[in-house]
Amino acid sequence: MLEKDGKLYFCTSNKKKVYDEIKLNPYIELTYLDRIKYILDIRYI
């Protein structure tokens, strides 16, 4: 995952099931844990 200029980027393969799931339902939730142990919970609506 990468945050740059206020935008969040991540990648997956179009061969994975999750790719098809995201295409069908673009409302996703991502959770991120960094080395300092803060949790960032992002819901894309």
pLDDT digits (tens, 9 = 90+) for 2-23: 888 988 888 889 999 989 998 9
Report CA-CA distances (Å) from 39 to 13, 20, 44.
Answer: 25, 27, 16
pLDDT of residue 36: 63
**27: pLDDT strictly greater than 80:** yes
State the average pLDDT over residues 16-42.
Answer: 76
Contact between 30 and 8 under an 8 Å Cβ cutoff? The reply is yes
Contact between 26 and 18 under an 8 Å Cβ cutoff? The reply is no
pLDDT of residue 2: 81
Q: In which residue are the tokens 């300092």 written?
A: 36
